Structure 1
Amino acid sequence: MKKIINSNYFYAFIALCCSLWLFFFVSTPGVGSTRDSNQSNTSTVTKRATLTVPLQLQADVDKYYITGYPENVKVTIEGPSALVTATKNTQNFNLYLNLKDLSIGQHRVQIKESGLNSELTYSIKPKYVTVNIQRRETKKFAVDVDYNKESLATGYEAGKTEVSPDTVTVTGAASEIEKIARVIVKPILPKGIKSTFDQEVLVQALDKNGKTVNVTLDPQTVHVKIPITIQSKQVSINLKQQGDSNNSNLSLESDVKNIRVFGTQSQIDAINSSVDIPVDVSDVTGNTKKSIDLGDVLGNKVAFTDPETISVSINTGSSSSSTNNSSSNSANTNNSNNNSNSTNNSSSTNNDSTEDNNNSEQ
């Protein structure tokens, strides 16, 4: 036994056993391998995500005008969680329509992808689209302005409309360009507007029936300015008696001598430098004042006036007549007194003369 233990073969056998034990210990899963196992499990978990992606065209867009396709489509991807998340964040792939070999007309085309990782599965919605390929044409059009003039406040007028820019570039299928009857803007003016309209307005291309034509406009909006003003001038007023009255001594007076009238250019041109203001005196029996509404008096000759009303004093002359009668009576009384005094004086003179004659005879 001692020989066996001291033998080189024994030590070699022991070394072999230890080596085998260490090998199996290291190879057996344990605490140290848990983390690697978890990472392996995580990488195999699947995930799904739906993305909205721009749809690209592979076509000669300088020569052809293409319509009918959506700007964006949805794609659902599925695969390893980490890969799905990375793809969702970067979107480093494309969805496209290959139209290079298609002729003019309508075509049903499948949407294709490029750049997606091969470990991902995907589905695109919609899978097919119908496109219309037409010969491309570009043309310039002047911009017309169409608005409701009845929106202006009474008496106000619109001046020359300014449009900037006054022309737009229209691009589309040649067949659509031919349909265009006019390119217009339709500004919507607030009801009763009294000040200049100044806004950006959407441009529209319309056919002869007033329907929108499917084309691209550049620019899509233009700046529209519509000056809105009202004309005015100052005129004097002439108070005119209106209606029958028994008093022939009536007089009309007002502190207001001049007014300003407002209206359209044609209304202002038709107004003279002075206007007659009729005052109804048919119901006047004594001194009084009346408020005259100038808008009612001038009617549709003007839009409005400043001031809108005036106060008119109507004098019947009754106070001055009483004064004159009193003065007349006073004068008559004085005349009577003077006549009486003259008679008395005459009588006294005659008496004195008689007395002198009698004395002379004696």
Structure 2
Amino acid sequence: MKKIINSNYFYAFLSLCCALWLFFFVSTPGAGSTRDTNQSNTSTVTKKATFSVPLQLQADVDKYYITGYPEKVKVTVEGPSALVTATRNTQNFNLYLNLRDLSIGQHRVQIRENGLNSELTYSIKPKYVTVNIQRRETKKFAVDIDYNKESLATGYETGTTEVSPETVTVTGAASEINKINKVVVKPILPKGIKSTFDQEVLVQALDKNGKTVNVTLDPQTVHVKIPISIQSKQVSINLKQKGNTSDNSFTLESDVKNIRVYGTKSQIDAIDDSVDVPVDVSDASDGDKKTIDLSDALGNKVTFTDPSSVSVTINQTSSNTLSSTTGNPTSGTTSSDSSSSSKSSSSDSTDSDNDSSSSSTNSTNDNNDSE
């Protein structure tokens, strides 16, 4: 046995066995090679993804105005999963239309790509687009304002409107520029608005039929300010009684002497410095108080007032007292007036008797002189 172990053949055989074991250990997949295997499998899995990509133009856009093409198109790519994911995230390729050699007019052009990895397959939707190539033109237009005045609260009016900037630059095909009838902003005022409108509003280029013209506006919005207010004026009030008062008269009193009236300019201009406020006393008694609604009392002369109502105290004054105070001759005579009349009549009678007696005496004297 010792001879066998110590022989060269034994060591040669042992070396061969070790070499074979190492060979099979390395070539056989184990736990340490699991990750490499997974990575290899991942790189061979295919994936499909669809996403939107901006469409670029290859053309002299300073000279020509081009319409009809979409801003973005959809592209579907398919290939190794990692490569598809990277392509979708980075979008490091281009989709474009080559228009350099095309003349003015309409053309059907194929969308092309540049920069996609050769390991990927792709499809573009749409594949073709129809573009319209026209000579480019630029003009400036003043901005008009168009709004509904019926949205204003009753009695309110607008002042001088402001637009900033007052003009915009319009760029487009010469044929489209020629269609423009006006450039306008159409602010939408809230119903019943009472305060100044102050907002950014979209600008529109319209033809004579009111339809939008296909052009580019710079800026696309402008600042619009529409002052909204109501006119007012301070006036004094005159309380006037109305209604059937029989034989009674009344005095009307109120702590409110002046009010402020509001309305349109034409309404305020037509109002004097004082206004009559009628007070119905047909069913009133001495000392009654009534609240008079000024809007009802003034009718459509104004829109509203401040205050909106006044409190009126009604005091009764008898007609006899009023007649005596004013010396109305139709109101009848008092007792003192009757006594004075009697005294005057008596005095007149005495004077008449004295005149008769004197006449008799004078007659007697005349007879004596005759004898």
After TM superposition, the score normalised by the length of structure 2 is 0.77
> What is the aligned partner in structure 2 of residue 49 from structure 1?
49
**Structure 1 residue 23, shift from structure 2 partner:** 10
Per-residue CA deviation, residues 334-361 of structure 1 (Å, 9 max, x unaligned), is xxxxxxxxxxxxxxxxxxxxxxxxxxxx
Q: Share of identical aligned residues, percent?
A: 78
> Contact 1:65–1:134 (CA<8 Å) still a contact in 2?
yes
> What is the aligned partner in structure 2 of residue 97 from structure 1?
97
Per-residue CA deviation, residues 197-240 of structure 1 (Å, 9 max, x unaligned), is 11111111111111111111111111111111111111111122
**Structure 1 residue 30, shift from structure 2 partner:** 4.4
> What is the aligned partner in structure 1 of residue 274 from structure 2?
274
Q: How many Å separate the matches in 1 of 2:28 and 2:313?
A: 119
1:301 aligns with 2:301: yes
Q: How many Å separate the matches in 2 of 1:48 and 1:119?
A: 13
**Structure 1 residue 26, shift from structure 2 partner:** 8.3
**Structure 1 residue 313, shift from structure 2 partner:** 2.3
Q: How many Å separate the matches in 2 of 1:282 and 1:302?
A: 26
> What is the aligned partner in structure 1 of residue 356 from structure 2?
none
Q: How many Å separate the matches in 1 of 2:51 and 2:250?
A: 93
> CA 1:24/1:238 → structure 2, altered by over 3 Å: closer, same or farther?
closer
> What is the aligned partner in structure 2 of residue 210 from structure 1?
210
AA partner of residue 222 (structure 2) = V
Q: How many Å separate the matches in 2 of 1:36 and 1:306?
A: 89
Q: How many Å separate the matches in 1 of 2:253 and 2:133?
A: 83
> What is the aligned partner in structure 1 of residue 344 from structure 2?
none
Q: How many Å separate the matches in 1 of 2:45 and 2:221?
A: 51
> CA 1:40/1:298 → structure 2, altered by over 3 Å: closer, same or farther?
same
> What SS is found at the alignment partner of 1:210?
coil
Q: How does 1:324-335 map to 2 (within 5 A)?
A: none
> What is the aligned partner in structure 2 of residue 182 from structure 1?
182
**Structure 1 residue 318, shift from structure 2 partner:** 4.4
> CA 1:226/1:35 → structure 2, altered by over 3 Å: closer, same or farther?
closer
Per-residue CA deviation, residues 51-86 of structure 1 (Å, 9 max, x unaligned), is 211110111111111111111111111112222122
Q: How many Å separate the matches in 2 of 1:144 and 1:96?
A: 38
1:69 aligns with 2:72: no
> Contact 1:247–1:316 (CA<8 Å) still a contact in 2?
no
**Stretches of structure 2 lacking an aligned partner (at least 5 in a row):** 1-8, 325-334, 337-371
**Stretches of structure 1 lacking an aligned partner (at least 5 in a row):** 1-9, 325-330, 333-362
> Contact 2:248–2:318 (CA<8 Å) still a contact in 1?
no
> What SS is found at the alignment partner of 1:246?
coil
Q: How many Å separate the matches in 2 of 1:243 and 1:35?
A: 108
> What is the aligned partner in structure 1 of residue 87 from structure 2?
87
Q: How does 1:153-192 map to 2 (within 5 A)?
A: 153-192=153-192
Per-residue CA deviation, residues 5-51 of structure 1 (Å, 9 max, x unaligned), is xxxxx9xx99x989996996588554476665554433222121112
> Contact 2:249–2:319 (CA<8 Å) still a contact in 1?
no
Q: How many Å separate the matches in 1 of 2:291 and 2:34?
A: 104
> CA 1:249/1:79 → structure 2, altered by over 3 Å: closer, same or farther?
closer
**Structure 1 residue 143, shift from structure 2 partner:** 0.7
Per-residue CA deviation, residues 101-142 of structure 1 (Å, 9 max, x unaligned), is 111111111110000111111111111111111111111111
**Structure 1 residue 289, shift from structure 2 partner:** 2.7
Tell me the C-alpha RMSD between the 2 structures. 3.1
Q: How many Å separate the matches in 2 of 1:296 and 1:127?
A: 73
> What is the aligned partner in structure 2 of residue 131 from structure 1?
131
How many pairs align? Answer: 319
> CA 1:30/1:210 → structure 2, altered by over 3 Å: closer, same or farther?
closer
**Structure 1 residue 311, shift from structure 2 partner:** 2.0
> What is the aligned partner in structure 1 of residue 199 from structure 2?
199
**Structure 1 residue 95, shift from structure 2 partner:** 0.4
> What is the aligned partner in structure 2 of residue 343 from structure 1?
none
Q: Show structure 1 runs of 4+ deviating over 4 A.
A: 16-30, 32-38, 318-321
> What is the aligned partner in structure 2 of residue 232 from structure 1?
232
> Contact 1:199–1:223 (CA<8 Å) still a contact in 2?
yes
> What is the aligned partner in structure 1 of residue 363 from structure 2?
none
> Contact 1:243–1:282 (CA<8 Å) still a contact in 2?
yes
> What SS is found at the alignment partner of 1:317?
strand
> What is the aligned partner in structure 2 of residue 291 from structure 1?
291
**Structure 1 residue 158, shift from structure 2 partner:** 0.7
Q: How does 1:239-250 map to 2 (within 5 A)?
A: 239-247=239-247, 249-250=249-250
> CA 1:246/1:42 → structure 2, altered by over 3 Å: closer, same or farther?
closer
> Contact 1:253–1:314 (CA<8 Å) still a contact in 2?
yes
> What SS is found at the alignment partner of 1:266?
helix
Q: How many Å separate the matches in 1 of 2:134 and 2:166?
A: 28
AA partner of residue 278 (structure 1) = P
Q: How many Å separate the matches in 1 of 2:20 and 2:288?
A: 134
> Contact 2:248–2:319 (CA<8 Å) still a contact in 1?
no
**Structure 1 residue 300, shift from structure 2 partner:** 1.5
Q: How many Å separate the matches in 2 of 1:313 and 1:92?
A: 89
AA partner of residue 249 (structure 2) = N
> Contact 1:234–1:258 (CA<8 Å) still a contact in 2?
yes
AA partner of residue 242 (structure 1) = K
> Contact 2:247–2:318 (CA<8 Å) still a contact in 1?
no
AA partner of residue 158 (structure 2) = A
Q: How many Å separate the matches in 2 of 1:310 and 1:34?
A: 97
> Contact 2:290–2:312 (CA<8 Å) still a contact in 1?
yes
> Contact 1:237–1:277 (CA<8 Å) still a contact in 2?
yes
The more displaced of 234-243 and 107-116 is 234-243
AA partner of residue 156 (structure 1) = Y
> Contact 1:290–1:311 (CA<8 Å) still a contact in 2?
yes
> What is the aligned partner in structure 2 of residue 251 from structure 1?
251
